[in-house]
Structure 1
Amino acid sequence: MIGVGFGPSNLSLAVALEEHNGHNPNERISGFFVERQESFGWHRSMLLPSATMQIPFLKDVATLRNPASGYSFVSYLHASGRLASFINNQTFFPTRQEFHKYLEWVATQFTDQVSYGSEVIGLRLPADSGSAGTPQHLTVDVRRRGSGRVESVRARNVVISTGLVPRMPQGIQRDERVWHSSEFLMRFRETDPAGIKSVAVVGAGQSAAEITRFMYDTVPQAEVYAIVPSYGYALADDTPFANQVFDPGAVDDYYFGTDRTRQAFWDYHRNTNYSVADDEVIRDLYRRSYDEDVRGGRRLHLLNLSRVTAAERDGDRTRINVTGGGVQEIVVDVCVFATGYHNMEVSRLLGELDRYCLRDETGRHRVGRDYRLVTTPELGCGIYLQGGTEHSHGLTSSLLSNIAVRSGEITESVISHRRVERELARALPVEPAGR
C-alpha cells in the first residue's frame, strides 16, 4: 500500500496497519507513505497560543478503533510524564499545540515508512498492463524535491489523503500582505508586528474568530476589522445529540440514507462545524468589544453582514472593498482570509486512471462504503480516499472525528479483497504449460 500524504488520516492508517500486522502476521500489509512537507506537520500556522481542540482527546488516531492502542493520546501523556497532570486539568479538550505534539510523537515511530520532502505526481497503469489481463498493480510516480528525480513504485493499493485546498474569494490573490488562515502564523512571524497599524480578518468561523482575538491581543496598536458575512459570530452546536452526527454509526446513516436524509444532515447540522465558533472565543471577543464601549475607545471593529469584494496592493498596504449596507474602502497593513477550504479533488492525480473510475449522476466519483473508488472491471487495484467523500460519507470526511475507525475499515477492505482474490485463484483451473 502506498499512502499519498502523511497527515493525521494516513498517520492513523499507518497505526492501523501496524496493529493489524502485529495481530495477523500471516496477512501482513506493507505500507509506505509519501509526504510533501519536510517533516510531519498539521496546520502548524494555526497553532495559536491557548487555542484548544474542538474534539475530545479520545478521538485520536487510534482509540475509537482500538481502546488498548499504544498510539493513543493517553499513551502519549503517559510516555511524556503528564498523565496525572492532564487528569487534574479536568478537560476533554487539549490545546491544539499539545495535540500536535501528540501527532508528532506518533509520527516519529513511523519515520522508516515515510518519504518526506517528496510528492506523488501521478498514478498510472504499469507499462506491461496491456498483456497481463486485469492490472493488479499501479505505478506511482514520486518526485523528490530538490533533486527533481522521479522514481516509480508499484503498489497494489493506493490511499489518497492530500488534504484540503485553501479557498480565497474569487478575484483575490494571496501575497506578502494578503494571507489565508492556513499560512497565518508563518506569515505573521515573517512580519514586524510594530509595523502593523491595521488588520482585517475575513470570515465567520473558528479560525477567523481566533485570529481576530490573537491580533487584537498581540498587536495592541492595531485597528482590527472583523469582516463577517453573518450578523456576528454564530455558536457551534456541540451539544450531545448534535455531536452524534460525528459518530462512526452516522456514516452508515448518511451513506445508506435517501437523498432527503443526506440533505437533512447538511441542513440541520452544518452548524456543528461550518462558519461557527466556540462559545469561549465568541465571549472573549464580545467582552473585549464591551470593554471598549466602557472605556470610550474603539479598536475592534465588527463589520457584520459584510464581504470583501476586492483587494488591491498600494505600496506596503492593501486597499480592500467591503460591501455590506453600502461599499466602503479600508486600507490595512495585513488582510487575513479565514474563508475555508475546497474539498480534496483527486482527478488530477488519477490522470489516465480517472476513466476507469465511475461517477454518479452529478459527476462526482462513486465511492464504496469502504472508501474505495468504484471502478470498471478493467482495474483490479484498490484506490482509497481519505477525504473528498463528503457527498458519499457525510460531515466527518475531512474531520478528525472518524479517522481511527475509517483507517480500520480501509485496512479490513484491503484484507477482504485479497482474500477474495486468493479464493478465486484457487477456484480457477490451471492452464497447461505452453498454452
Structure 2
Amino acid sequence: METREPEMYDVVGIGFGPSNLSLAVALEEQQTPLKAIFFERQPTLSWHRGMLMSGTKMQVSFLKDLATFRNPVSEFSFVSYLHAKGRLARFVNNQDFFPSRQEFHSYLEWAAAKVAHRVSYNSRVTAVQLPQAYGEGPARHVRLAVDDPVRPGGVRVVEARNIVVSTGLVPRMPTGIERGESVWHSSEFLHRFRERGSAGLKRVAVVGAGQSAAEIVRFLHDNARDATVSAILPSYGYSIADNTPFANQVFDPNATDEFYRGSDRSKDAIWHYHKNTNYSVVDDEVLSDLYQRAYADEVSEEGRLDFVNLARVVDVKHGANDTRVTVHSLAADESYDLDVDVLVCATGYHPMDPSEILGSVGDHCLRDAEGRYRVTRDYRLATTDALSCGIYLQGGTEHTHGLSSSLLSNLAVRSGEITNSILERRVAAAAAADQAAEEEEGIRV
C-alpha cells in the first residue's frame, strides 16, 4: 500500500456528504483540537443533485440543519447562512419552515467551504487495513490507501486512530432491471433529463410511490409538454406522509435512545407504526397538486397523465426506437407491454453497507445473530480485542438506532455524540497509558 510515509490523524472521515460535513462542523466547534481529514471521491460536495428540481422543498425543518440541535448559537447554522447571504428577513417573511432543496444545497455548499481545509476531494479510499505490525496489544489505528488527486496514479497513505464511514445510500432498481440510456434512477434524473432534453419525448413512465416519484411526475408534466406521463404505482395512487407533530417525535433525539434500548419486538413495532413518516409516502401539498392536475387532465381530455394503479414493472426490453416495459397488474393478475421513450425508477435506496470499504478490518467487527454489525450507542462498531481503533458509522444503523439513521433529522446531535465519544475514548486511553507507565515505574523501583 505504501508509497510514502503515512500521515497520522485522530479522525479520518470516509465520504463527505451532509453527515460527515456535520461531523466536520462539530470537530471545528469543539474546544479540544483533533487532527482530522475527510476524503470524498467526488470533485465537490454533492447531495441529491439529480433531484434539485425547481419547486421541490425539504421535508424537514430548517432548524434540523448541520448544527442547531447540537449548538443553537453555531456559526454553521442555517440561520447563520441566511444572515451571511442577506436573506434572513425575507426567509422569515415566507412563514415557511421548509426551504427549497436548492437553497438547502446552497447552505451545505456554504458550510463545506468553511471547513474546506479538512477535506480532500477527488480522493477515493481504496483500502482500509490493520497496520503491518502493531505489537502485542490491540491495533490502536488503521491504515488507509487513498487515490492521490495531486499525483495521478499515486497513492496517499494515512493512518487513523478513528474512522467515520459515511459513503451514502446506494440507488435501488427493480429486480432484474438495470440502468441505461433510457432507464434512469431518480438519483440521476435531472442530469439525464437535461442531457436528453424533452424534444421527441412522447411517453415517459415513472415507477415508484414515494416523494421522489411524485415530484418527477409533476416535473415531467410541466417540462415535457408533448409527452404522456405514466405513473406506475403498487397501490391506489400515492399515500400521504404522516408529518403530524406526534408522529414526528419518532425523529427526536431522545427517540434514538428509546429505539436503541428497545427489544427486537419494540423495534419492529416502531418501524411498523412509523415507516409512513418517510417511506413510500408523499407530502400532502405534492399529493394534492398531482390529484388536481389529474382531474384537470381528465376534464380537458388531454390524456397526458396516466396513473397505472396496483401495478409493477417486471421486465424491460430495448428496441431500436423505444423501450418496451412489461407491466404486471396486481388487480387482474396479468401482464401487458408499454412502449416508452424513458423509464424512470424512483425506487429508493439500499442502506449504506460499510463491508466493502472496511475489507479485512471488517473481520474484526462483531455481528449479531442476523449477520448485522453490532453498533454501540455512540455509533461505534463493536470489535474484537485485536482492534481498539474507533470505527464509527453515519448510516447503516437503522437496525440499532432507528428511522432517523439515514435521514437529516439527527445530523447535528449524532455528529456531536460521535465527537464526544472520540474525545472520551482518547482521554480514557491516555489515562490507561499513564497508569501503565506508573505501574512499570513502580516495578523498576
TM-score clears 0.5: yes
Instruction: Tell me the CA shift for residue 433 of structure 1.
Output: 12
**Distance (whole Å) between structure 2 residues aligned to residue 409 and residue 163 of structure 1:** 19
**Distance (whole Å) between structure 2 residues aligned to residue 316 and residue 19 of structure 1:** 56
Equivalent of 1:4 in 7, 11, 14: 14
> Match of 1:424?
432
Equivalent of 1:215 in 207, 212, 220: 220
> Match of 1:286?
291
> Match of 1:397?
405
CA deviation vs aligned residue, 1:391-416 (integer Å, no higher than 9, x gap): 00000000000000000000000011
> Match of 2:335?
327
Instruction: Tell me the CA shift for residue 277 of structure 1.
Output: 0.4
The correspondence of residues 13-412 of structure 1 with structure 2, limited to 5 A, is 13-20=23-30, 24=31, 27-129=32-134, 131-144=135-148, 147-324=152-329, 325=332, 326-412=334-420
CA deviation vs aligned residue, 1:148-172 (integer Å, no higher than 9, x gap): 3221101100000000000001111
**Distance (whole Å) between structure 2 residues aligned to residue 297 and residue 113 of structure 1:** 54
The amino acid across from 2:85 in the alignment is: S
> Match of 2:8?
none
Number of residue-to-residue matches in the alignment: 428
After TM superposition, the structure 1 stretch with the greater mean CA deviation from structure 2, 271-280 or 417-426, is 417-426
Partner secondary structure for residue 315 of structure 2: strand
**Distance (whole Å) between structure 2 residues aligned to residue 95 and residue 392 of structure 1:** 31
The amino acid across from 1:83 in the alignment is: L
> Unpaired segments of 5 or more residues in structure 2?
1-10
CA deviation vs aligned residue, 1:229-254 (integer Å, no higher than 9, x gap): 11110000000000000000000010
The amino acid across from 1:140 in the alignment is: L
Partner secondary structure for residue 240 of structure 1: coil
CA deviation vs aligned residue, 1:5-34 (integer Å, no higher than 9, x gap): 0000000000000000xxx2xx32111000
Partner secondary structure for residue 316 of structure 2: strand
**Distance (whole Å) between structure 2 residues aligned to residue 151 and residue 273 of structure 1:** 39
**Distance (whole Å) between structure 2 residues aligned to residue 132 and residue 78 of structure 1:** 54
Instruction: Tell me the CA shift for residue 111 of structure 1.
Output: 1.4
**Distance (whole Å) between structure 2 residues aligned to residue 4 and residue 316 of structure 1:** 42
**Distance (whole Å) between structure 2 residues aligned to residue 269 and residue 5 of structure 1:** 29
> Unpaired segments of 5 or more residues in structure 1?
none
The amino acid across from 1:237 in the alignment is: D
Instruction: Tell me the CA shift for residue 315 of structure 1.
Output: 1.8
Partner secondary structure for residue 115 of structure 2: helix
| TM-score between both structures, scaled by the size of structure 1 | 0.96
CA deviation vs aligned residue, 1:84-115 (integer Å, no higher than 9, x gap): 00000100000000000000000011112111
**Distance (whole Å) between structure 1 residues aligned to residue 302 and residue 157 of structure 2:** 63
**Distance (whole Å) between structure 1 residues aligned to residue 12 and residue 442 of structure 2:** 35
**Distance (whole Å) between structure 1 residues aligned to residue 119 and residue 168 of structure 2:** 17
What is the RMSD of the two structures over their aligned residues, measured on CA atoms? 1.4
**Distance (whole Å) between structure 2 residues aligned to residue 269 and residue 291 of structure 1:** 33
**Distance (whole Å) between structure 1 residues aligned to residue 276 and residue 188 of structure 2:** 25
| TM-score between both structures, scaled by the size of structure 2 | 0.94
**Distance (whole Å) between structure 2 residues aligned to residue 144 and residue 280 of structure 1:** 46
**Distance (whole Å) between structure 2 residues aligned to residue 417 and residue 355 of structure 1:** 22
**Distance (whole Å) between structure 2 residues aligned to residue 271 and residue 302 of structure 1:** 21
**Distance (whole Å) between structure 2 residues aligned to residue 169 and residue 241 of structure 1:** 33
Partner secondary structure for residue 146 of structure 2: strand
Q: What is the percent sequence identity of the aligned residues? A: 57
After TM superposition, the structure 1 stretch with the greater mean CA deviation from structure 2, 52-61 or 114-123, is 114-123
The amino acid across from 2:83 in the alignment is: H
**Distance (whole Å) between structure 2 residues aligned to residue 369 and residue 244 of structure 1:** 19
Instruction: Tell me the CA shift for residue 133 of structure 1.
Output: 2.4
**Distance (whole Å) between structure 2 residues aligned to residue 295 and residue 214 of structure 1:** 19
**Distance (whole Å) between structure 1 residues aligned to residue 390 and residue 191 of structure 2:** 37
Instruction: Tell me the CA shift for residue 132 of structure 1.
Output: 5.0
**Distance (whole Å) between structure 2 residues aligned to residue 172 and residue 315 of structure 1:** 18
Instruction: Tell me the CA shift for residue 432 of structure 1.
Output: 9.4
